[in-house]
Amino acid sequence: MTHNLNRLPPADAEALLLAMCPRIGDHAPELARRCGYLPLTLRVSAALLAADETYAVAHYLTQLEAEHQQPSADPKGDPHDPAASVTAALALSYAALPTPTQQAFAQLAVFVGSFDLPAALAVVEPTTQDALADTLALLVQRSLLHYDADTARYTQPDLLRAYGRTRMSAPSSAKPACATPATTLI
């Protein structure tokens, strides 16, 4: 599957990083480059760093580079493909989530369109409505889920949903009825 990945000009990419996480500071040009100047990757990286003041930016850069060098799941995969930058940033952000939040992220990948809290509650297991609301808020904070306050609905953009589906390996990752994309709960 290919996705349209529009790059930002370097100055705009750096400005986005610094707006989300000012402590990135002088590392902004290097981080923007390693993120491929891609808005999704920039937001996910900056959100992770903003959420944890103890996470050294230099250490994140090292981890991002190491993750980027991992062999692609696609044997035809090109490590210089912009999608490799997205995968590397998502892998680090996903790994930094608590296990129940990782599971919820993967389970939510069944939604092709937007969804609300009751629909999410139908696919995320095990949880309560309050716990799930907290989990969804964390995913929004980490730029792994989008929230529209006007409609009270969430969306998981295509690339995030595709990554989440790769994480649905365990049989308990989702309720049995959710093995295929959800469209009836929308």
Residue 141 burial (CB count, 10 A): 14
User: 129 or 175: whose pLDDT is higher?
Assistant: 129
Please compute the mean of the pLDDT values over residues 5-19 and round it to a whole number: 95
Question: CA angle 151-153-154, nearest 5°?
Answer: 145
Q: How many CB atoms lie within 10 A of CB 154?
A: 20
pLDDT score for 18: 98
Average pLDDT over residues 74-85: 62
Nearest CA among 96, 37, 40, 39 for reference residue 63: 96
pLDDT tens sequence across 108-163: 999 999 999 999 999 998 889 999 999 999 999 999 999 999 999 999 999 999 99
16-20: which pairs have CB atoms within 8 A and are 24 or more residues apart?
Answer: 16/42, 16/43, 16/46, 17/42, 17/45, 17/46, 20/46, 20/47, 20/50
Pair of tokens at residue 36: 């491929």
Over range 94-117, report the average pLDDT. 95
The percent of residues above 90 in pLDDT, for the chain, comes to: 73
Q: What is the mean pLDDT of residues 26-48?
A: 96
Provide φ and ψ at 111, rounded to 5°. -85, 120
pTM confidence score: 0.82
* Position 173 pLDDT exceeds 70: no
